[in-house]
Structures are given as C-alpha cells and as structure tokens.
C-alpha cells in the first residue's frame, strides 16, 4: 500500500512576527556596528595627546575597570550581546537558505547548518559568503574579548585599558554580517523567504505543497517501545560527534603545550583563572610601543584561532535543532495535548531546554576562550593554561551534551523522523485543521489485508476523539516506511 496524504493541505504560515523580531535584531546589530566605529574612533584619537607638558607624541590610553570582576562581567555581557545579534542574523540566513533549497528541490531536513550548507543558485547562500560569514562571526567574538585589556602594573595608567583596534574590527565584522543578512532579505525569485516559521510541521506543509505525494511505501510492523536514535537515522550527523569530540583532545594538548612552554614563568607568577598582566603564561612576541598595527594583527590571529571554536558551537546547533524537531513531532502522540500547527518559532526555541542550554553555552564558551589568549597593549599575545584547561572541560561538556542528544532513543511507538520532511509527510496522513488548531497521532482503526488478517492503522487526525492509544502487540500500517525506487 502506498503512502497517501489527505489533500486538504493547510497553507503554511508566513510568521511575520518572527520576521519583525529578526529585523529588531538586525537594527540592534547595525547600532552596535555604528557604536563600535564611533567609540573606537574616539578612543583611537585620544591615544596620541600631550601628557603632563611632554611635547613628544606620547600615548595616553583611556583606562578603567580597576576591578577584575567588573572587567569580566563587562566582557561576558559583550559576548551575550554578540550571541543575541548572531542568533537574529543567523535565523535570517537560515530561513533564506531553507527556502532557497526548497526551490532547488534539495530541502530534505527541516534543520540545516546554514554555514556549512550552500545553495547552487543563490550567491547570498553560496559557499564563499558562508565562509566570510563564519570568519566575521569569529572575529566578532574575538574582538569583544580583546576590547578591555590588562595594562602593566608599572604603567602610568594601571588597571585595564580600552583598546580601540578590536572595537573597530568589531564594527567591520558586525557591518559585514548586517550586509549579508540584508542581502538575504532582498526579494528575489531565488531566495524569497516564503515563511519565517521554522517548525517542522510548517516546513512539511510547504514540502507537501511542492512535492505532492511521498515516494515512500508504508510497511506493516509491530509497534516498538523505543525508536531509532538520530545517530542511527541520519548519516550526516555522525560528523558532528566526530568534530566535537576531536575538539576535546585538541584543547587539552593546547593547554599542556602552553603549560610546558610557560612552566618557568608559572613558578614566578600568579596562575589565576582570570588573567591580568601579572598572570603566568606563555608570551610570544616582542615589545612594541608602536602598537596600533600589532594589536589589530593579534586580534585577527586570535580570531582565526577562535574560528575553530565558533564552528564547533555552530555544528552543535544541528544536534540541538534536530532533537528539538523530534521533540515537537512527538508531542502529537500525547493525546490529551497534541501538537499545535500554528506556533511561533521563538516560542518553540525558548521552551526547548536543549536550545536554552546552547544559548547559555555560546557566550560563556567564547568568554572563556577570551581568557585563554589575550593581546596585550604592548604587542604580546599571552596564552594562559588555566583558562585553556577550563575551555577543554567546556568542550567536553558540549560534546557530552550533543552525544546524549544524538544517541538517545525516543520512547513510545510513534516513529521518529528527526525533521526528515519526507518521513513527516508520510506519517502525517490527515492535515485537516479543526478549531483548536492541533494535530494528534494514534490508532485510527483497522482494515483487513488480503489474507483477512486485521491490520490496525496509525496516523494523524485533528479530532482527538477519532484516535485511541496504540496497541503494542498488534500489527500496524503507518509505523515504518521504505523508499520506492
């Protein structure tokens, strides 16, 4: 028996409120870019002044944040701001990519890595722009970590200094991300965003409108108490685990190397988690009072190093979003609740514990990375082993979280889909929408096969009373599928 879907398909939502929220994020990012240029330019101009009657071109750097804790709180808040901006702009980029793939007939999953998936016919979602977006994102995080730097205790300006060079780099990075996001928003037949709702059911409705019937055949099967994990079901997701677990030994070896190179210095200085100018570490580079170029170059170097960590957090999104898509679909089998066909993407994200945890891990992880390597005002890059070891522990925590999400096997007879649009379009056999706007999945009755055997039917309905709980020992049509050649 072939899979069939009720042809009364509802229209997919435009979700303009989500678009407006993203536009607010775009404006906030643009304001941050202008502010970075303005403040950076003012600080740059104030550096070269006459100090205490000395007529030479002497550097006076605005200072502040004498408290280490205040400095770290400010740095963490800046990382939170960058995360909020990048999430808003990233959603625009991901939405544009989703509908570009839709038009190209290449949209297979609801969730995709928008920086690792490129469109064939849209330059805004092309490979080169994805690379440039990733680099600018890493530089944004690196810049906010290098904005407030410890000064020498023997300096005329003790404490911490405001460094204009990373602030100007931050302005360029945010500006570039804004321009790419605006490019994605420009109406075009190749990349017009038809819907801002990223929930799996809304995307599946669009998929059904485009593809009609599914090219799968439903098999009769006995219900299983556990379903396949994402690791077993999706081949591409296995690379996520490999990449994240590779990051753990890399950061550990990095910390061991820095500890070995700085072992003499560590015996003479402090080894605190929050480094300052008197913290022991490895200090490559030369003393350079003409530090305008050296600070900028060091920030770029740190940004390229941070790119690896930025991409690790980005690929963790695939595991989190895939797990969230599956959690959404599985709500349909809760017969006293069901799944809402119309729900905001923002609501789904903020009520998903996986998403909330990742949103917390992103700024905290980048903040710890910023403590691991600092570009000092007088030209050195300082590597501190204690924060690096903390970063390796953080990488272990991230890899463990993703492993749990990818290896867990959902309970219950409802088949797992993990955002696979073809599977969802097969298992959802009735899209009719009632007043409560909810969809339920369960037992829909039975039919007699050619051998006069009773085969029960599993499927969806908008009317709760039309469904019953699955009978675990009886054969069902609607639990397993196979591809049709």
Average pLDDT by consecutive 10-residue portion of the chain (485 residues)? Answer: 56 87 96 93 65 41 60 89 95 92 89 86 87 93 83 57 85 95 82 87 86 73 94 89 94 90 65 64 59 70 88 93 95 89 89 94 93 74 86 95 95 94 91 82 90 92 91 92 63
What's residue 381's pLDDT? 79
Determine, yes or no, domain membership for 482: no
Asked if residue 434 belongs to a domain, the reply is no
Domain count, the chain: 1
In this structure, is residue 78 part of a structural domain? yes
Question: Does some domain include residue 6?
Answer: no
**Domain membership flag for residue 247:** yes
Asked if residue 4 is part of any domain, the answer here is: no
pLDDT on residue 270: 62
What do you get for the CA distance between the two ends of the chain, in Å?
15
Tell me the residue range of the domain where 398 lies: 16-407
Whether 361 is in a domain gets the answer yes
Establish if 462 belongs to a structural domain: no
pLDDT at 3: 47
Note the pLDDT of residue 124.
Answer: 85
In this prediction, residue 49 carries a pLDDT of 38
């Amino acid at each position: 028996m072939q899979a069939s879907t009720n042809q009364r398909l509802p229209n997919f939502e435009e979700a303009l409120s989500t678009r407006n929220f993203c536009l607010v994020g775009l404006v906030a990012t643009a304001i941050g870019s202008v502010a970075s240029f303005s403040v950076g330019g003012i600080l740059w101009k104030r550096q070269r002044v006459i100090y205490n009657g000395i007529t030479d071109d002497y550097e006076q750097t605005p200072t502040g944040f004498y408290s280490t804790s205040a400095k770290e709180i400010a740095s963490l808040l800046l990382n939170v701001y960058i995360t909020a901006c990048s999430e808003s702009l990233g959603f625009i980029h991901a939405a544009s990519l989703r509908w570009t793939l839709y038009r190209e007939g290449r949209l297979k999953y609801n969730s995709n890595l928008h920086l690792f998936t490129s469109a064939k016919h849209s330059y805004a979602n092309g490979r080169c722009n994805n690379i440039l977006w990733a680099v600018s994102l890493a530089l944004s995080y690196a810049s906010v970590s290098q904005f407030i730097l410890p000064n020498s205790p023997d300096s005329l300006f003790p404490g911490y200094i405001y460094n204009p060079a990373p602030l100007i780099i931050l302005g360029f990075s945010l500006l570039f991300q804004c321009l790419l996001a605006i490019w994605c928003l420009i109406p075009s037949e190749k990349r017009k965003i038809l819907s801002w709702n990223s929930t799996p059911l809304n995307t599946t409705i669009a998929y059904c409108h485009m593809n009609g019937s599914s090219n799968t055949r439903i098999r009769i099967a006995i219900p299983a108490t556990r379903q396949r994990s994402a690791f077993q079901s999706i081949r591409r997701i296995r690379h996520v685990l490999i990449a994240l677990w590779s990051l753990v030994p890399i950061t550990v070896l990095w910390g061991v190397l820095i500890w070995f190179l700085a072992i003499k210095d560590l015996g003479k200085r402090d080894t605190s988690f929050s480094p300052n100018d008197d913290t022991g570490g490895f200090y490559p580079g030369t003393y350079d009072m003409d530090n305008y170029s050296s600070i900028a170059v060091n920030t770029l170097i740190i940004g390229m190093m941070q790119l690896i960590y930025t991409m690790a957090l980005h690929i963790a999104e695939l595991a989190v979003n895939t797990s969230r898509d599956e959690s959404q679909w599985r709500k349909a089998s809760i017969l006293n609740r069901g799944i809402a066909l119309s729900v905001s993407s923002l609501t789904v994200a903020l009520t998903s514990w996986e998403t909330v945890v990742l949103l917390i891990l992103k700024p905290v992880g980048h903040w710890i990375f910023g403590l691991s390597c600092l570009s000092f005002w007088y030209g050195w890059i300082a590597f501190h082993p204690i924060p690096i070891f903390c970063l390796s522990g953080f990488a272990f925590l991230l890899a463990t979280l993703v492993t749990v999400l990818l290896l867990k096997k959902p309970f219950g007879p409802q088949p797992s889909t993990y955002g696979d649009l073809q599977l969802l379009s097969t298992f959802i056999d009735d899209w009719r929408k009632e007043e409560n706007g909810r969809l339920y999945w369960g037992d829909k009755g039975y039919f007699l096969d050619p051998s006069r055997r009773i085969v029960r039917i599993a499927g969806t309905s908008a009317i709760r009373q039309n469904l019953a709980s699955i009978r675990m020992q009886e054969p069902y049509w609607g639990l397993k599928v196979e591809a049709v050649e």
